[in-house]
Amino acid sequence: MNTTKIGWIGLGNMGIPMTTQLIEAGYEVKVYNRSKAKEGALTEAGALLAETPKELTLQTDVVFVMVSDDAAIEAVFKGSDGILSAETTGKTIVNMSTVSPAISKQMATDCGAKGHIYLDAPVSGSVKQAETGQLVIMVGGDESAFNAVKPILERLGKLAMHVGETGAGNSAKLAINSLLALYAQGLAETVLFANTQGIKTEDLLNLINNAAIGNIFTKIKGDAIIADQYQAAFALKHIVKDLNLAKEEGISSPLAKTALQTFEAAAVKYGEEDIIAVIKEIKAD
């Protein structure tokens, strides 16, 4: 049994498998989610429940946060029952959500004022990698605090790397997700072009996945295209959020601009579906 008491806020597509990994690793894990329906599966797996982020912060040592966006971070940290309302000190708060470097800097300052340490630690990889502890984790903030939680991060990921000061993890993640958007749009456009030339989707993907340009992404998303199955592993609306955050941080390259335009249009109909549902938007054009 690992003695560090872990708190986990946010049981979405990623939070559920990540929490499950920590329970399986022998940690005591207390969870909180805004909507209650998702907590059931985890209590069956052995998680304890907290009524509020405040209660969870009081009762645990390291608090992980895995929620949607900056607005969710505001709510979870600064809401009336939020993390920062807990009358306690000396906790480590690890924010694994993909959010702006700016909100991380703000939360790090607010956490510091309460005597807590804040790390931004977003992840690359999706549900499959979360289920198998194979995420890639990039961390900004105090390096000794990073080293202290590294054993926990290593249960969640195959690589946990310190990349700089507060917000640096978020910056690295936005760079990676800019590439992710280009991969998704590129794969979709390539399949559709091949189809216009009479090449079957299955055949094209078989070729790609055996070629040097094939990778885990083309395999998993290729399978989704073949199955015509777009249930969200990574919701398309989240890549719109990330491309907008990257734009706010100054990205203005031609492909980044095009991707933002494409995914914003796709999100009108397919925002709750997986990122690769972008193929339906491009096909309809």
Chain residues in the site for ligand NAP (CB under 6 A) = 10-15, 33-35, 38, 66-68, 71-72, 75-76, 97-98, 123, 126-127, 233-235, 238
Nearest 5 degrees, angle CA 231-CA 53-CA 126? 25
Query: In this complex, which beta carbon is closest to ligand NAP, that of residue 163 or of residue 204?
Result: 163
Which is nearest to 7 in space by CA: 38, 51, 69, 37? 51
In the complex, the smallest distance separating the C-beta of residue 1 from ligand NAP, rounded to whole angstroms, is: 27
Q: What is the rounded CA–CA span in Å between residue 243 and residue 263?
A: 9
Query: In this complex, which beta carbon is closest to ligand NAP, that of residue 33 or of residue 204?
Result: 33
100 DSSP 8-state letter: -
Catalytic residue among 54, 173, 221, 237: 173
Which is nearest to 177 in space by CA: 247, 264, 270, 83? 247
Query: In this complex, which beta carbon is closest to ligand NAP, that of residue 10 or of residue 141?
Result: 10
SS3 letters across 68-102: CCHHHHHHHHHCCCCHHHCCCCCCEEEECCCCCHH
The residue number whose beta carbon is nearest to ligand NAP equals 12
DSSP 8-72: EE--STTHHHHHHHHHHTTEEEEEE-SSGGGHHHHHHHT-EE-SSHHHHHHH-SEEEE--SSHHH
Query: In this complex, which beta carbon is closest to ligand NAP, that of residue 204 or of residue 225?
Result: 225
Query: In this complex, which beta carbon is closest to ligand NAP, that of residue 15 or of residue 222?
Result: 15
Q: What is the rounded CA–CA span in Å between residue 256 and residue 62?
A: 36
Instruction: Please answer whether residues 241 and 72 qualify as being in contact, where contact means their C-beta atoms are separated by less than 8 angstroms.
Output: no
Q: Is 173 a catalytic residue?
A: yes
Active site residues: 173
